[in-house]
């Protein structure tokens, strides 16, 4: 009997060893893809970059455009600049998450010499890294995006990262010059920005490069002029009239598929008010600047009248019931269009103002005045007004409106750029304010220190996962620990 | 029946006549004192001789004796009785249950029964009668406070509560820590404790450590609850019928301020009639407008005063009726048991209800060397409950509002033509829905069913060798629909500028889902049981196979067209749809050997090898061994037996390793998401954020345990002690990584957690009188130290609450696993403090500011638990009570932040809404030193301080999580048999009053809620929220009849 049992056991053990193999090979994911071609990743990556709201929302507050309405209490971060490492964490996480997708595209595309696709991804890599530096100063770059091989990535000096971004854009340009062919396929419709138009991508890359260069005007010892010359020499030029970099995957009137700005601030797909519909309105500073200082006809396009039929904003820092949403000016029809309006990566007006500043500073031989006026015209047409309206406006002898009437040309350029970028690229407005001090956005009345915010803190997630590297940055103040290019 | 008895008597007479005078027959019947049921297998010995017999299946016996003989009746689990025969010819014996658990038989792994004295590990058995003493609705609540080392948290008191059952603390950082549940030998799922009919439970054996349960495989590293359901017992059919009706009522509400009504101005106290915050002026009792101007030009009016019971009265008293019936019958070869139970519950949230039906069929039959058996349970639930945050809106409504008057909101006008203030168009609050409206328009209905059972066949090859094959299935189906009713505000309501909520018509939605979980487990094993001289040996070897299959499918319509039609076709916009599938397999081979020397040393060794589909080919096979020793000192050292006070003593020790897999299916590869794609024909994918190590290995728990069991004073006092230490290493952890790595998480083997604990179970019978009065008093105590020893490469913490999606980086209170700290640990957003710990305030505003890093508060899992159970019996009366204390831990009250936001919290009126100097604060001087602040008051003592500033510090919302609870009280009366005899058909009857959680005692600082109510069954325990239902107490009346 015993022997029999042993033999049965031995036999079943053998049987087990032989058949468990395939019996247990059932761990292939039936629910989600585990690999994808680079152009399939490109569409989503672009959509995420363009749809990112957090950094622009912060910029809209700290850049002087927006204020929280009195319909909501709280908002001490925006009203009092009282914030810590838990504020704006999405800027960090979203940029790096997005960068990982671009890195995946670059790696996969370069492996098969798909230059068009890798070139586009490189432009966007630089675009994202600039946001990171402009929000946090030193950030992981050389060690970043390497998964567990560099699980606590070291931080690179912000200036070094900026220098690297110029190189990346240079490499992007090289890639983008390779003509489309069978071996170098066009991303086509997966490129939701330019549908594979590589010349336009080069113009965007050049303008972005100009933005990065011009950001460093306060940095001593930089030869910005020769840097700008290299961009001009690239040959494709900059974003021109009507060249605003728009992105749309074909937004739908479905929850989660509308234009994110619309879905967050205006209306849900179901028709109900968006979650943050009544939370944010124009600041008193923005309304006053346009209405009183600039006497700007764009006011009616950028802002809405309140329930008493006038334009009135919330003083930065205020939050009582006088400032309830219906009593204050919301955003106007040039900002709030429809669920399928495109998201803006960079305005064409910004391109002209960057060129105007470069010319004004003598970095190029361009006509600063003409470029400045072209920027205003571009901003007017983007806001739904005409070139004639624009010329009437910039020929009115108002400071920071007409070139001639503006004593400080840089102030005029930055002020007009600020108006042009209202609400849609608020982060850039905040950056330029920190660089130039223009326009003169007042400190919020209830701010914990009488200073404007200079940066974000490294997020809590980074403090808990990469603590040594974070503490080495020694960031203790949102007001005093400035970005390397700041004024 | 009478006829049969008569026949027996005649038969006995005949028998008697045949015997010698000095050696005659005595007959009788042995029954249990507990329920009067016959006891088969009771051994009857004639003292001082080798003569003896056992009772038959119907409890009867006969034995030849002479008058001087003394008979001893003994049976496992019962007190031994001795009776001098004398002249009696018929001796009926009622055995009372033994309070000592030491001699009991314990159902261990695989359904193998072992004498408790032979066990080298901790095992506690809770009998069915103890589970049902207070007629708990679920097994989960019935076990609370009764066993050391076993911690049960009921996570929500709603109509459909879930629970978290852990033994000896948490071992796994991000994996499963819940005890394995085994029903009749087959592995089930932990929610079984919620769907089993408690009346069907024969007993529950709690195997506290991994060592006891290892043979069940890798799921058993968390210990196991071995549930045995009732089988039909031999003898006459027994029918039991019982009915219990409970009332459930809110037992605790946060402390509210009763001085200030609606308002939201900083720096001033202005009454705003439509405001949802309570930062208005002090109550005056004058009549004021409430809400916005109404369509007919009128205003709702109310006295500006605090409406004391408006919040409490917005809840209902819940009612649950539980009806059960069972039939148990059997003979020598067969057993048969069927039962049915129906629970009808109405919740404390108006309109919430649930119907549960549980059926069970257990039967077995022996034929020659074969025995076949099946045990099948089927439970269905019909649940209808609101998905809105009823509790939240009730809590936060300003005090002047007569909230309980707004229950009936459907009609725009009342019958008398006046406007119905409860209707959303007329409702006072401009910013929040009426809780009654919201709960009615947002609902979920679910029908779920669980079929759980097994079929087994035993073949007894020889006297010492048998084979058993068993196939068990658990199949769960959940079919549900979550809906939102369409609602359109009137044109007038929309035109009122202040009425912000009226701008948001409800478009309605329908979310339909179907989830199936199908598990099949099969076991085949042999048991060899043999004695070799002074040695005894039991050997088990077997093979186990598990396959789990899950499928989830849902469809969603986000905006409905025709009101009242909740189907995905009735929509505008794109339909939502999702599906996911999962299948896993596990094969295990195991061996288990117990060797006993005489009856005092027992050595037990076990080993198991598993192969899992969840891991890569090279890592899927893993082996884990264990061993334990038990020495019965009182048998080993005869001198100890002579000590009059010591009746029993045993020491034991064990050493075990168990492998566990805490990886989900398909987790070894990064998966791609689709973001918000597709947009029409345009596709998009995104690289996932978790980077898995494809070579993941199982995590291993090494445990060491020593213990002792002692009986004193003839086992009137029993003491069990256990000390254990467990270390779980190489855990599978989805560790948060710097997002700059490109990933937010890496799934790797890392980290170790150590649990060290001490357990004490003291069972005493201080009083046992001849008149039947007895008092039992038991104490169980558990202490556990749960420490994170290491994580990964200098990463010192793991954010658990973020991992489980309960919080974000910005949340005021979060739960972590931190190296060197207790697991889990609560951390909060804190005040910026000077080196002496004083809060630094702004020299102008008087407000504190936020510290740059989170502050560690302490552990969220109780460090100590104390359970007290007591039973008083006198004649037919019985009083049972269970009390439990937990302490040494903290809770973060998520709901506190909202009651501060709205200003209904008592704390927000601490300074009468006047400006005040922040207590123990300092002002930072220009040179970096600090000066105590005695003069700078906060700029605004109302909204500015409490909502806008102080609410941002999580440290304001943490309290001790200690509590005392009177878990159960049951007063029962068993109607004496002589009264029942007159009914001719009722064999037993009892009535009782039962109560659960009648008293909860909390520390003074806890103004918010019952700390047992964490908002999660995940490992991130320590947070609550206002999306739960408030704690309740229940009391009721029960009637039990036996036929």
Domain that holds residue A56: 38-252+340-473
Contact B741/A144, CB-based, under 8 Å?
Answer: yes
* pLDDT score of A8: 52
Cβ B792–A151 below 8 Å, yes or no? yes
- What is the H or E stretch that residue B635 is in? helix B633-636
Q: Is B527 on the interface with A (CB under 8 A)?
A: no
* Structural domain contains residue A19: no
Which chain A residues contact residue B554 at CB under 8 A?
Answer: none
* A100, A189, A273 ranked by CB distance to B503: nearest: A273
Please tell me the distance from the alpha carbon of residue B101 to that of residue A415, in angstroms, as a whole number.
85
B61-65 CB contacts, 8 Å cutoff, 24+ apart:
B61/B27, B61/B28, B61/B29, B61/B30, B62/B15, B62/B25, B62/B26, B62/B27, B63/B25, B63/B26, B64/B19, B64/B23, B64/B24, B64/B25, B64/B26, B65/B23, B65/B24, B65/B25, B65/B26
Residue of A86, A148, A153 lying closest to B809 (CB–CB): A86
Place B12 in a pLDDT band, splitting at 50, 70 and 90.
Answer: very low
- B102 pLDDT band, cuts 50/70/90, is very low
Instruction: Please tell me the total count of domains within chain A.
Output: 1
Q: Is A309 on the interface with B (CB under 8 A)?
A: no
Give the chain A residue whose CA is nearest to the CA of B578.
A31
Strand ranges in B598-742 using DSSP code E only, listed in sequence order: 601-612, 621-632, 646-660, 672-673, 686-687, 690-692, 699-712, 717-729, 732-736
CA A136 to chain B, closest CA, distance in angstroms equals: 13
**pLDDT tens-digit readout, B499-511:** 888 888 899 999 9
- Closest CA–CA distance from residue A212 to any residue of chain B (Å): 21
Query: Which range among B632-641, B771-780, B946-955 shows the weakest confidence by mean pLDDT?
Result: B632-641
pLDDT at A10: 52
Smallest Cα distance from B320 to chain A, Å: 39
Q: Which of residues 673-702 of B touch A (CB under 8 A)?
A: 673-677, 679-680, 682-689, 691, 693
**SS3 state at A223:** coil
Q: How confident is the model at residue B16 (pLDDT cuts 50, 70, 90)?
A: very low
Instruction: Name the residue of chain A whose CA is nearest to B687's CA.
Output: A101
Segment B429-478, tens digit of pLDDT: 999 999 999 999 999 999 999 999 999 999 999 999 999 999 999 999 99
As a whole number of Å, the end-to-end CA separation of chain B is 14
pLDDT bucket at B397, cuts 50 / 70 / 90: very high
Find the residue in B nearest to A89 (Cα): B809
Q: Is A232 part of any domain?
A: yes
Give the tens place of pLDDT for each residue, B962-1014.
Answer: 999 999 999 999 998 888 888 878 888 999 999 999 999 999 999 999 998 77
Cβ neighbours of B829 in A, within 8 Å: 84, 86
Q: Quick check: B559 contacting A, CB < 8 Å?
A: yes
Backbone conformation region of residue A113, classed left if phi is above 0, alpha if psi is from -120 to 50, else beta: left
Question: Given CB atoms, is A253 within the 8 Å cutoff of chain B?
Answer: yes
Cβ distance of A464 and B799 shorter than 8 Å: yes
* Residue to substitute from A96, A144, A148, interface B, most B β-carbons within 10 A: A148
| B298 band by pLDDT with thresholds 50, 70 and 90 | very high
Lowest mean pLDDT among B698-702, B831-835, B850-854: B850-854
Residue A22 lies in a domain: no
Confidence of residue B186 (pLDDT cuts 50, 70, 90): confident
Q: Is residue A311 part of a domain?
A: no
- Mean pLDDT score across all residues of chain B: 90
Tokens (6 digits) for B84:
């001098």
B623 and chain A: CB distance < 8 Å anywhere? no
Q: Is residue A395 part of a domain?
A: yes
Whether A223 is covered by a domain: the verdict is yes
Q: Verify whether the Cβ–Cβ distance B744 to A93 is below 8 Å.
A: yes
Nearest CA in chain A to B748: A148
Instruction: Identify the closest residue of chain B to A27 by CA–CA distance.
Output: B666
Residues B900, B907: Cα–Cα separation, whole Å: 8
pLDDT mean by block of 10 residues, chain A; 487 residues? 50 54 89 95 98 97 95 86 90 97 97 97 98 98 94 96 98 97 96 97 98 97 96 97 96 93 93 88 97 97 95 88 89 96 98 98 97 98 97 97 97 98 97 97 89 95 90 95 97
pLDDT above 70 for B7: no
Q: Which of A3, A13, A29 has the most B C-beta neighbours within 10 Å, making it the best mutation to test the interface with B?
A: A29
Note whether residue A16 is domain-resident: no
Q: CB-CB: which of A9, A99, A321 is closest to B742? A: A99
State the pLDDT at residue A69.
93
Check CB contact of B87 with chain A, cutoff 8 Å: no
Give the range with max mean pLDDT: A9-18, A363-372, B6-15, B690-699: A363-372
Contacts of B500 in chain A (CB under 8 A): 71, 278, 325
> Would you tell me which residues 96-135 of chain A have a C-beta closer than 8 angstroms to some C-beta of chain B?
96-97, 99-101, 103-104
pLDDT at B1033: 93
Q: Please, what CATH class does the domain formed by B2-95 belong to?
A: mainly beta
Q: Is the pLDDT of residue B14 over 70?
A: no
B195-230 tens-digit pLDDT: 899 999 999 999 988 777 777 887 788 889 999 999
Residues in B touching A20 (Cβ below 8 Å): 587, 611
CA distance B1027 to B438: 13
Name the A residues in 437-456 with CB < 8 Å from any B CB: 446, 448
All residues of chain B having their beta carbon less than 8 Å from the beta carbon of residue A459 are 739, 809
Asked if B994 reaches chain A (Cβ–Cβ under 8 Å), the answer is: no
Contact between B423 and B390 under an 8 Å Cβ cutoff? The reply is no
Cβ contacts of B107 within 8 Å, gap of 6 or more: B113, B125, B203, B205, B226, B228
What separation in angstroms does the CA of B235 have from each of B239, B908, B940?
Answer: 12, 68, 79
Listed by number, the residues of chain B in 398-437 with a beta carbon closer than 8 Å to a beta carbon of chain A are 431
CA distance B608 to chain A (A): 13
Q: What is the pLDDT of residue A11?
A: 52
Cβ of A254 within 8 Å of Cβ of B558? The answer is yes
Closest Cβ–Cβ partner in A12, A76, A256 for B948: A76
Residue with tokens 């309140």: A306
Q: Is the dihedral of CA B815, B818, B820, B824 positive or negative?
A: positive
The C-alpha atoms of residue B273 and residue B300 are separated, in whole angstroms, by: 10
Do A85 and B852 make contact, defined as CB atoms within 8 angstroms?
yes
For testing the chain B interface, which of A34, A42, A86 should be mutated: the one with the most B CBs within 10 Å? A86
In a domain, A264, yes or no: no
């Amino acid at each position: 009997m015993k022997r029999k049992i042993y033999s049965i056991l031995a036999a079943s053990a053998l049987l087990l060893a032989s058949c468990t193999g395939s019996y247990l090979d059932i761990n292939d994911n039936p629910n989600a893809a585990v690999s994808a071609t680079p152009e399939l990743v490109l569409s989503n990556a672009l959509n995420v970059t363009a749809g990112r709201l957090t950094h622009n929302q912060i910029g809209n507050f700290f850049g002087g455009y927006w204020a929280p309405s009195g319909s909501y209490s709280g908002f001490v971060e925006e009203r009092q600049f009282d914030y810590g490492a838990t504020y704006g964490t999405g800027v960090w996480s979203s940029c790096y998450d997005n960068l990982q997708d671009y890195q995946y595209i670059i790696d996969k595309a370069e492996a098969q010499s798909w230059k068009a696709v890798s070139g586009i991804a490189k432009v966007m890599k630089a675009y994202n890294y600039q946001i990171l530096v402009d929000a946090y100063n030193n950030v992981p770059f050389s060690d970043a995006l390497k998964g567990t091989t560099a699980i606590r990535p070291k931080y690179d000096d912000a200036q070094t990262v900026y220098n690297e971004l110029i190189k990346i854009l240079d490499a992007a340009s090289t890639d983008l010059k390779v003509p489309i062919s069978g071996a170098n396929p066009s991303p086509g419709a997966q490129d939701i920005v330019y549908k594979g138009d590589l010349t336009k991508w080069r113009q965007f890359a050049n303008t972005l490069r100009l933005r990065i260069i011009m950001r460093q005007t306060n940095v001593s010892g930089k030869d910005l002029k020769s840097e700008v010359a290299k961009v001009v020499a690239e040959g494709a030029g900059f974003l021109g009239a009507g060249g605003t970099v728009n992105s749309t995957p074909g937004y739908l009137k479905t929850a989660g598929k509308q234009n994110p700005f619309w879905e967050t601030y205006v209306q849900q797909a179901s028709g109900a008010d968006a979650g943050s519909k009544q939370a944010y309105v124009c600041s008193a500073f923005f309304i006053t600047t346009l209405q009183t200082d600039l006497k700007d006809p764009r006011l009616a396009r950028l802002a809405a009248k309140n329930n008493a039929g006038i334009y009135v904003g919330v003083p930065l820092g205020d939050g009582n019931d006088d400032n309830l949403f219906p009593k204050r000016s919301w955003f106007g029809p040039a900002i709030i269009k429809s669920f399928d309006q495109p998201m803006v990566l960079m305005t064409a007006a910004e391109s002209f103002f960057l060129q105007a500043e470069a010319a004004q500073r003598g970095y190029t031989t361009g006509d600063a005045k003409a470029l400045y006026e072209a920027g205003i015209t571009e901003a007017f047409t983007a806001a739904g007004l005409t070139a004639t309206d624009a010329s009437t406006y910039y020929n009115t002898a108002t400071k920071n409106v007409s070139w001639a009437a503006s004593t400080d040309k840089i102030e005029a350029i930055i002020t007009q750029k600020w108006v042009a970028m209202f609400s849609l690229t608020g982060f850039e407005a905040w950056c330029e304010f920190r660089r130039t001090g223009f326009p003169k956005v007042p400190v919020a009345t209830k701010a914990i220190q009488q200073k404007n915010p200079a940066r974000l803190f490294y997020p809590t997630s980074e403090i808990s996962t990469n603590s040594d590297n974070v503490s080495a940055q020694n960031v203790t103040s949102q007001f005093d620990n400035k970005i390397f290019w700041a004024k | 029946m009478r006829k049969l008895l008569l026949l027996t008597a005649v038969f006995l007479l005949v028998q008697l006549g045949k015997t010698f005078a000095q050696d005659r027959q005595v007959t009788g019947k042995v029954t249990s004192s507990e329920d009067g049921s016959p006891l088969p297998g009771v051994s009857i010995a004639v003292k001082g001789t080798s003569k003896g017999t056992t009772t038959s299946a119907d409890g009867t016996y006969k034995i030849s004796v002479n008058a001087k003989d003394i008979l001893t009746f003994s049976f496992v689990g019962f007190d031994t009785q001795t009776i001098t025969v004398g002249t009696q010819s018929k001796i009926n014996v009622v055995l009372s249950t033994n309070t000592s658990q030491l001699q009991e038989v314990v159902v261990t792994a695989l359904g193998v029964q072992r004498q408790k004295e032979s066990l080298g590990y901790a095992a506690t058995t809770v009998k069915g009668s103890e589970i049902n003493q207070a007629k708990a609705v679920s097994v989960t609540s019935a076990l609370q406070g009764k066993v050391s080392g076993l911690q049960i948290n009921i996570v929500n008191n709603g109509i459909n509560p879930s629970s978290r059952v852990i033994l000896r603390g948490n071992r796994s950082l991000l994996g499963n820590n819940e005890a394995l549940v085994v029903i009749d030998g087959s592995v089930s799922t932990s929610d079984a404790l919620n769907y089993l009919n408690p009346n069907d439970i024969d007993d529950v054996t709690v195997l506290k450590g991994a060592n006891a349960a290892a043979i069940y495989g890798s799921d058993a590293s968390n210990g196991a609850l071995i549930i045995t359901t009732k089988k039909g017992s031999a003898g006459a059919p027994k029918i039991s019928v019982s009915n219990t009706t409970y009332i459930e009522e809110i037992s605790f509400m946060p402390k509210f301020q009763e001085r200030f009504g609606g308002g939201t101005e900083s720096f001033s106290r202005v009454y705003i009639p439509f405001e949802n915050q309570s930062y208005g002026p002090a109550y005056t009792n004058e009549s004021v407008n409430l809400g916005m101007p109404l369509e007919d030009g009128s205003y709702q009016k109310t006295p500006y005063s605090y409406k004391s019971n408006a919040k409490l009265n917005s809840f209902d008293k819940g009612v649950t009726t539980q009806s059960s019936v069972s039939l148990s019958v059997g003979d020598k070869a067969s057993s048969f048991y069927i039962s049915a139970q129906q629970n009808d519950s109405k919740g404390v949230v108006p309109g919430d209800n649930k119907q549960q039906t549980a059926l069970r069929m257990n039967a077995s039959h022996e034929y020659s060397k074969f025995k076949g058996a099946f045990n099948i349970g089927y439970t269905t639930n019909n649940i209808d409950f609101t998905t809105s945050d009823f509790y939240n809106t009730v809590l936060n409504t300003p005090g002047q509002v007569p909230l309980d008057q707004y229950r009936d909101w459907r009609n725009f006008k009342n019958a008398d033509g006046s406007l119905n203030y409860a209707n959303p168009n007329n409702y006072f609050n401009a910013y929040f829905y009426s809780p009654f409206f919201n709960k009615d328009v947002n609902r979920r209905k679910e029908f779920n069913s669980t079929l759980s059972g097994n079929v087994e066949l035993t073949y007894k090859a020889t006297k010492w060798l048998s084979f058993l094959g068993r196939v068990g299935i658990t199949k769960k189906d959940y079919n549900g629909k979550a809906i939102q009713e369409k609602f359109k505000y009137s044109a007038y309501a929309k035109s009122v500028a202040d009425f912000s909520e009226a701008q948001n018509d409800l478009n309605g939605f329908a979310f339909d889902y179907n989830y199936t979980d199908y598990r099949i487990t099969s076991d085949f094993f042999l048991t060899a049981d043999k004695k070799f001289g002074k040695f005894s040996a039991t050997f088990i070897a077997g093979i186990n196979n598990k396959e789990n299959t899950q499928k989830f499918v849902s469809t969603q319509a986000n905006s409905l067209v025709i009101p009242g039609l909740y189907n995905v076709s009735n929509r505008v916009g794109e339909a939502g749809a999702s599906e996911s599938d999962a299948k896993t397999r596990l094969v295990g081979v195991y061996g288990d050997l117990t060797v006993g020397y005489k009856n005092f040393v027992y050595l037990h060794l076990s080993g198991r090898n598993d192969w899992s589909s969840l891991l890569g080919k090279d890592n899927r096979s893993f082996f884990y061994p264990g061993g334990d020793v038990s020495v019965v000192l009182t048998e080993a050292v005869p001198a100890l037996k002579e000590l009059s006070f010591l009746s029993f003593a045993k020491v034991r020790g064990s050493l075990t390793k168990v492998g566990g897999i805490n990886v989900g299916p398909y987790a070894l590869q990064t998966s791609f998401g689709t973001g918000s794609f597709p947009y029409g024909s345009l596709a998009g994918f995104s690289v996932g954020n978790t980077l898995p190590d494809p070579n993941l290995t199982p995590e291993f728990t090494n445990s060491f345990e020593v213990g002792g069991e002692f009986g004193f004073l003839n086992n009137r006092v029993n003491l069990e002690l256990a000390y254990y230490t467990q270390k779980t290493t190489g855990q599978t952890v989805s560790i948060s990584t710097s997002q700059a790595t490109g990933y937010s998480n890496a799934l790797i083997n890392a980290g170790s957690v150590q649990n060290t604990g001490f357990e004490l179970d003291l069972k005493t019978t201080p009083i046992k009188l001849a008149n039947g009065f007895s008092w039992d008093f038991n104490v169980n105590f558990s202490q556990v130290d749960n420490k994170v020893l290491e994580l990964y490469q200098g990463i010192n913490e793991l954010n658990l609450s973020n991992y489980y999606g309960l919080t974000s980086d910005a949340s005021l209170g979060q739960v972590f696993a931190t190296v060197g700290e207790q697991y889990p640990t609560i951390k909060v957003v804190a005040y910026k403090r000077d080196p002496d710990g004083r809060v630094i305030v702004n020299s102008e505003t008087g407000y504190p500011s936020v510290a740059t890093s989170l502050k560690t508060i302490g552990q969220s899992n109780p460090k100590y638990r104390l359970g007290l159970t007591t039973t008083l019996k006198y004649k037919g009366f019985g009083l049972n009570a269970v009390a439990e204390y937990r302490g040494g831990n903290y809770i973060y009250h998520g709901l506190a932040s909202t009651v501060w936001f709205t200003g209904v919290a008592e704390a927000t009126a601490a300074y009468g809404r006047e400006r005040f100097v922040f207590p123990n604060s300092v002002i930072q001087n220009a040179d970096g030193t600090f000066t105590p602040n005695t003069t700078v008051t906060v700029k605004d003592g109302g909204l500015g301080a409490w909502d806008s500033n102080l609410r941002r510090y999580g440290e304001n919302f943490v309290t001790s999580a200690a509590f005392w609870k009177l878990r159960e009280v049951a007063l029962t009366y068993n109607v004496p048999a002589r009264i029942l005899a007159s009914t001719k058909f009722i064999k037993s009857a009892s009535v009782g009053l039962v109560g659960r959680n009648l008293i909860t005692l909390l520390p003074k600082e806890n103004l918010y809620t019952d700390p047992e109510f964490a908002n999660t069954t995940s490992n991130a325990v320590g947070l609550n929220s206002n999306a739960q239902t408030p704690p309740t107490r229940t009391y009721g009346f029960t009637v039990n009849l036996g036929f």
